[in-house]
Structures are given as structure tokens and as C-alpha cells.
Structure 1
Amino acid sequence: MDFVEVRVQAPRELADILVAELSEVGFDTFEDNDEGFCAYTTEDVFNPDDVAEIMSRYQGTDVIEYDHRVITRQNWNAEWEKNFQPLIIADKVSVRAPFHPKPDGVDYDIVIMPRMSFGTGHHETTALMIENQLTVDHQGKRVLDMGCGTGILAIMAGMLGAREILAVDVEPWTVENARDNVQDNGFPEAECRLGGVEVLTGEAPFDIILANINRNVLLEDMHAYAALLPAGCPIIFSGFYEEDLSKIQEEAKKQGLAYQSNRTKNNWVSAIFTKL
């Protein structure tokens, strides 16, 4: 199945509102740019009438331009390779494609080929998650990566010494991609599983949970994550804006998760909580 990209030009304060609106009609991945943002969903979920109706509500208040296109699986690699540049996170982690040379002076070198998946580290949420991971002891730990995308956070967990990794995503091609990437980075024992929170039923507890998804999914599924986390163990969230942090904290408190700290970049947040 192919992706639909909706490219929106709008001022920042309105862009944040539109992201929230689009997330209610099936869009679950967003990438900021200098003119506004891009929103992504699958072709079967996309309804142009829903998008038009949302945009029409705000046409009278600000100048909004938007259009959409289908990104086929066949075209995704070429599109990504054309635009992708190697990345260094926190002066310690290199994220690059197989066709880029390995840089000098980094502690960890992650090689990613995303195919149709998202999560190259260029989006603020992924980079913030990795920065937070670097502060958490992964050695010998069992780690869950929910909404794994390319598998980049699962790979980071492996490089930080995790003994067991489960990566989960709802898209079949994403799971295939993550499986290839974790293997190519030297972690073939990491399991990549198709599904959502329902596939965690019966799982043993995890020592660390990574959940870089979006605000709505985090709020809806947080109870399931908390149930799989022993006391004293961390969970790292991202995929939401600074103004949503209070909502995440409120739900986390209900689920017995104590707020520890957060990092922000361009209004995106990654926050660490600990199970009480």
C-alpha cells in the first residue's frame, strides 16, 4: 500500500492546530519544514473531503495552501536518497545511509535504509528520543520500541547494550524495513512484530519502553505500556508538542508513571517517566 503526503503551507501557530485536526482523520506522521509541514497517511485511510473540510475552517483567518500526492513504494527510495544527508546526534551518534561513508569521532554508527518507513533521525522527535536514550542505562535490559518505524531506536538500544529487543509497528512494510535494518546493524536477534498495543498481550515486563508515536495514541495506550513496566523502570515518550506535555503528564500520573525530565526542539518534546 502507498502513502499519501499532504503538504501544508501555514504559519507556525496555525500549523500546530492543523496537525491536531489532521491526526483526528487518520494522519499519524508529521514532518515540519520552513513553510509549514507535511502530513502522511496510507492511501486507504486518506479522504480528500476530510482534508478539504479541515482546511476550509481556517481559510478566512490565515493564508493556507495545501496539496497532496501519492508516494509509491517504488518511488520512496529515490525520493529519500535524493534528499537525505548524514546526521550526527549529540556529537555521539551517526545516522547515515549505506551509501554514505562512516564518519570519524562518533561512539555509535547507525546505518538506515528507510524504504517506506519514517524515522531517520532527522525529525526532532527521533533525535530527541536518541538523546534521551543516551542518558538511560540499557545494559542487559529488555526493551520495547513501540511505533518502531525504521527500527532506529531499537538499533540504538542494541548499541547501548540491551539484551532483548521487541520492535512493534502497525504497518507491514515498516516491520519488514525495521527487520532488515536491525539485522544490517548487527542485531538479528531483535524481534520486529506487526500490530499495535494488542500484540503485547501476555508479554513479560520490559525494563525500558520507547514510544515515539503521537499524542493521541500515547494517551490511548499508555495504560498498556505502564502495565508492562516494573517499578523503577523508565519509559521515554515523544511525538507530541510542548503544549501537549501537560496532557501526557496528567495521563502518566493516572497510570503510575512519575515525570522525570524532558528535552525540546522546535516545539517537539521527548519526556522520560519512571514507573512508581
Structure 2
Amino acid sequence: MYHQYSLLNDPGLNEMLIAFLGEADFDSFQELDSGLHAFALAEQHEQSVAALEDLRERFPFTYTWEVLENKNWNEEWERQFQPIRVGERLLIRADFHPADPAVEHELVITPKMAFGTGHHATTYMMCELIFEEDLAGKSVLDYGSGTGVLAILAKRLGAGPVDAVDIEGPAAENTAENAQANGTELRHVVLGELHDVPPGPPYDLILANINRNVILATGEALYERLRPGGRVLFSGILAQDEELLLSRLAAIGFHHHSTRRREDWRAFVFSRS
């Protein structure tokens, strides 16, 4: 059973509120002209209220909540999923969206509530950056894979062995299913954390479209899983956290190459010295 939390706020705050609530295990959202609806499992109501009260100390909004009738919320959420188009090079769509023969690459994704917060802006930037990488034969890790879009795209563009990992069971399952549906073979799809990824040679490229807290907590471990000269693409970072992330990753030893900006979100290219 789910609870619906109805937030009354300036719609300009939606992106930031969704980002923080996503980190607090709210798993889907509906943006409104007057604010947004946030959905979370009924069993975590105390945790959800605590997260909302914490955010109310930082942002101006009010909220109410109600118990929702049992229904297939994956289906409800899928109806809100919108395609992502990256110029003429890529279309990411669900199977209920029309194809577009004008694009170079098309990924058909069944989301199953695994598409991350801010997915249009952050996924768009990550895909742009992946297209700029020389992937031929490179080993790749998709860290926090969600639907598996980045892992699948990397493999489609000629990468060598590609692994994916996510701490959420539905996300790991979704990654494996979407890879198969798109005719893509991933080497490992791991349910767990970074240390659960099978050991092996360091990766040539790491893709991390995740969130600030996870990147900061695992930066050292990611550095160790990257070969010298290897590159890492980070996204899922809000503009307000840009300087914090840059300074922390520089202290670890990462070399910053570039920053990409879209709406309130940031994406970065780093390498290991």
C-alpha cells in the first residue's frame, strides 16, 4: 500500500524537492502547477514524514497525506514516463511510445519505477557525454544503473565488457530485462553495492548518474576501481552542490575535465591521474 503526500509549493522548487525526497526513498512523483505529489510505501510513513519535516526547515511548503487504494502503481507511474531525445542521435522511449526512424539509436525501456530523480536532465547529459567518449573495446561500469540505459547505450556504442550495479532489486531486475529487450549483453548485472561487483581489472570508464551523497561516500572506492588514465562521468548533482563535489573529488585525486549544465543539474567528466 502507498501513501500520497501532496506538497503545496512554488513549482520552481519541484526539482530540488524531488531530488531530496528521492534520497529519502520516495519512489515516484507527479509534478503539478501548485507543487507536486510524492509517493512512498505506507510502511515507511514515519520516515517519510521525518524527511518532509526536515525539508520544511529549508524550503517553504506545506503538505498533506492520504492512504491510496491498492492498484498497480508501476502502471500508473509508467503513464507519466516521457521519452528522452538527444538530438538526432538517440531516443529513449517506452514500448507504448511511437518509434522515430529519424534517430540514429533507439532504446526501448520499460521503466518499472527505476528511472531516477531528475531523469530527463541528468540522463540527457550523461548520454551526451557517452557519445563523446571513445568506447571501442573499453570496459565500463554503470554505477547505480536504474533502468540500465547508460550501460545499454555504452554497449551499443562499441564498449567491451559492461557491468551494472544497483542497490535496488527492481532496478537490477529492470536493467537485466531492458538489456535483453534491446539485444544487448551485459557481463554482470549486480544487485548490491560497489564492493559486490566482482573483482577484476580496473575499468576504463565508470558511469555514475546517482546522487551527491553516494558519490561523496564512495568516491575513494570508485577511484580504486578506475584504471590510471580512465575516465568517470558523474551526474545527479544539483547546482548548489557543484563546488562541494569538485573539491571533494579533487582531494581524492580525480582530475576535473569539464562540467555540463542543464536546468538545475550538473554533470562532470573526471579522470584518474
- For the aligned pair, the TM-score class normalised by the smaller chain equals 0.7 to 0.9
- Structure 1 residue 10, shift from structure 2 partner: 2.3
Instruction: Output one character per residue of 1:12-38: Cα deviation in whole Å (capped at 9) or x when no partner.
Output: 6766775676577x3376869455456
Distance in 2 between residues matched to 1:87 and 1:22, nearest whole Å: 23
Q: Is the 8 A contact 2:190 2:197 kept in 1?
A: no
Is 2:4 the counterpart of 1:10?
Answer: no
Q: Is the 8 A contact 2:19 2:118 kept in 1?
A: no
Q: Which amino acid aligns with 1:225?
A: L
Q: Which residue of 1 aligns with 2:63?
A: 65
SS of structure 1 residue aligned to 2:151:
helix
Q: Is the 8 A contact 1:10 1:36 kept in 2?
A: yes
Distance in 2 between residues matched to 1:66 and 1:80, nearest whole Å: 20
Q: Which amino acid aligns with 1:177?
A: N
SS of structure 1 residue aligned to 2:270:
strand
User: Are the structure 2 counterparts of residues 241 and 209 from structure 1 closer, same or farther at C-alpha, using a change threshold of 3 Å?
Assistant: same
Distance in 1 between residues matched to 2:95 and 2:16, nearest whole Å: 37
Distance in 1 between residues matched to 2:92 and 2:171, nearest whole Å: 18
Bigger shift: residues 119-128 or 64-73: 64-73
Distance in 1 between residues matched to 2:70 and 2:203, nearest whole Å: 36
Percent identity between the aligned chains?
A: 32
Q: Is the 8 A contact 2:205 2:230 kept in 1?
A: yes
State which of 154, 172, 175 in structure 2 corresponds to 1:175. Answer: 172
Q: Is the 8 A contact 1:95 1:121 kept in 2?
A: no
SS of structure 1 residue aligned to 2:228:
coil
Equivalenced residue count is: 271
Instruction: Output one character per residue of 1:207-234: Cα deviation in whole Å (capped at 9) or x when no partner.
Output: 1000111101110001111101112211
Q: Which residue of 2 aligns with 1:273?
A: 270
User: Are the structure 2 counterparts of residues 81 and 39 from structure 1 closer, same or farther at C-alpha, using a change threshold of 3 Å?
Assistant: closer
State which of 179, 201, 204 in structure 1 corresponds to 2:201. Answer: 204
Q: Which residue of 2 aligns with 1:195?
A: 192
Unaligned 5+ runs, structure 2: none
Instruction: Output one character per residue of 1:72-103: Cα deviation in whole Å (capped at 9) or x when no partner.
Output: 78321x21342334331133101111233320
SS of structure 2 residue aligned to 1:207:
strand
TM-score by length of 2: 0.84
Q: Is the 8 A contact 1:151 1:181 kept in 2?
A: yes
Distance in 1 between residues matched to 2:233 and 2:270, nearest whole Å: 6
Q: Which amino acid aligns with 2:53?
A: E
Q: Which amino acid aligns with 2:62?
A: I
State which of 128, 153, 156 in structure 2 corresponds to 1:156. Answer: 153
Q: CA RMSD in A?
A: 3.2
User: Are the structure 2 counterparts of residues 153 and 16 from structure 1 closer, same or farther at C-alpha, using a change threshold of 3 Å?
Assistant: closer
Distance in 1 between residues matched to 2:19 and 2:73, nearest whole Å: 28
Distance in 1 between residues matched to 2:38 and 2:193, nearest whole Å: 21
